[in-house]
Structure formats: structure tokens, C-alpha cells
Amino acid sequence: MKINGFELFLVSDGTFKLDGGAMFGIVPKTVWEKYFKSDEKNKITLGTNVLVIKSEKKVALVDIGIGNKFDKRLEEIYEINRKKNLLQDLSEKGVDRSDVTHVFITHGHLDHTGWATMYNHDKIEPTFPNARYYMQEDTWKEIREPNQKTKPNYNYLNFENIEERLELLNGDEEIFPGVELVKSGGHTKGHQLVLLRVGNRTFVYFGDLIPTSAHIKPAYVMAYDLYPMDTFTRKKELLERAFEEKWTLFFEHDPSVPVAQLVDLENYRLQSLTI
Ligand SMILES: [Zn+2]
């Protein structure tokens, strides 16, 4: 959609699969199964919805998919399925990787940072040669100082040779007029959201704080979250504002409802939107 000098649209890096139980934490399967069908291994199919924010001189991407640097083992685990990858989808929609000026990274997990880098023959290079990459300093710390629990969530090839591209933030910051990165914590310590205010409208990209529309209820927290009570509290307060101010909500991992509006705060009922 076009709004006040901005163009907003979603692109995708395909789908992948994760364990349905892990995606829904304490939510019983009999409940989450109404939203997501699981396969014989109990896995569910998730999207990789990347938001593009374009203005006259800027092209910002919000998260950057899974990328193409997986080895055989990771490919088997995540069962990536795509007819086209993120770069191909961008180029079909008129964006070349050299056009990108800003890459906003919600957090460092491998399904959010895949295209930070790519192979050029045998060498790993930043995929977006003219972009600065924005993440919270805590995210960079979490990437560099993993433990046995957090290490499998990162693909270290995504961070090779990008250090000089990084803009590390400490808390909330407006990056350019209308676009604010908001540190939420919860899923990881450094997790951040993207808030876009244009005219009288507000758009929010939740990242993994609310990965799919089926996670809209504050207590529906993924088992992956490192700080689940923070996820719960931030969701609750953000959704109150989202309801009152009629925000447009983006869900990064929802393969069928990527955009919606909260129309009933008591029952957390959503209405699907297109942009
Ligand atoms: Zn994720």
C-alpha cells in the first residue's frame, strides 16, 4: 500500500517447519491444532514474511528470512520450501539488493537473519552492499556469547564480515521520521519491534514477540522464549494500545494471516487485512 510518501509491502523467503509443541509452549495441542495442522512429525509450516518500507530515498527491510547458507543437516531439520527466495521476490517487486539502505533485525535467530550475508563464490559478503544493519546491542551480545541452550538458534555464517555494517542500539530509537525501533525483550533479551507511524495510522511488526496470528493471546508464548513473563507483559500492554489506536499488525511467521487488526480486546479477536 502507499501512504504519505511511504510504500509498504510484504515479501517472503518461503516457508519452513518447526515443532508445533515448541511453537505454542503451554498451549495444549487440542487448542493450537485449530489454527495449525501438524504433520506426522508434529511439525507445522511457518512463513517468513519480510516487511519492506520504501520511501523516496530509502528502502528498509524488516528481518531477512532464512537465507541460502544451510548445510544438509539444517535443510532437513527446517524443511525449507520455496519457489523463489527473498532476493527473487524482492526483485520481482522492483527492489534490487543494492537498493536496500536499512536492514532492521528483530533478533539474531537463524530464521530472521539468513540474508544478512551470502556467498560470493567461496567468500561470505553482506547481501545488501549499501545498507546499514540495525539491531540492539544486547542482540549482538547474545549472538557472540551463546550458551548450550541458545547456540543452536544461530547460524554463524549470517554474521561473518558484517560487523562494520552494524548499528547497535541501546533501547528505543527513531531511525528516520515515522520509523521507530522499540526494544521489547521477551523472546530474547535484545528483541526489538518496528513501529511505523504515518499520518494517523500505526503499523507494528512484532517479530517473534507475536510470531503468528494464533499467538495473539498474551499467554500463548513460544517455548523458545528466554524471558516468557516479559513476552506476556509486553504483549498485553502493546495489544491494549493496538486495539485503542487501531494499529495494523504484521505477523512474521504466519503463512496465511500476515496482516490483521485487533477488533476485540476481551477475546483477542483479529480481523485479517490486506495491505
Ligand atoms: Zn522466528
Question: What is the C-alpha separation between 164 and 275, in angstroms, rounded?
Answer: 34
- Report which residue type is found at 187: H
Nearest by Cα to 101 from 167, 5, 168: 167
The 10s digit of each residue's pLDDT in 94-110 is 999 999 999 999 999 99
Domain ranges of the chain: 2-183+192-201
Rounded average pLDDT over 110-128? 96
pLDDT confidence of residue 275: 86
Tell me yes or no: is domain 2-183+192-201 CATH 3.40.50.720.
no
Distance 121 CA to ligand 1 centre (A): 28
Three-state SS string over 172-214 comes to: CEEEECCEEEEECCCCCCCCEEEEEEECCEEEEECCCCCCCHH
pLDDT confidence of residue 210: 98
Query: Average model confidence (pLDDT) for the chain?
Result: 97
Using CB atoms within 10 A of its CB, is residue 271 exposed (0-12), middle (13-18) or buried (19+)? Answer: exposed
Distance 24 CA to ligand 1 centre (A): 13
Distance 4 CA to ligand 1 centre (A): 30
pLDDT confidence of residue 120: 92
**DSSP 8-class letter at 70:** -
Rounded average pLDDT over 190-210? 97
Nearest by Cα to 188 from 142, 221, 152, 154: 142
**DSSP 8-class letter at 141:** H
The 10s digit of each residue's pLDDT in 141-186 is 999 999 999 999 999 999 999 999 999 999 999 999 999 999 999 9
Assess contact for 226 and 188: CB atoms under 8 A. Answer: yes
Rounded average pLDDT over 57-78? 94
Cut 0.85: pTM above it: yes
CB-based neighbours (< 5 A) of ligand 1, an ion: 111, 208
Distance 111 CA to ligand 1 centre (A): 5
Distance 208 CA to ligand 1 centre (A): 5
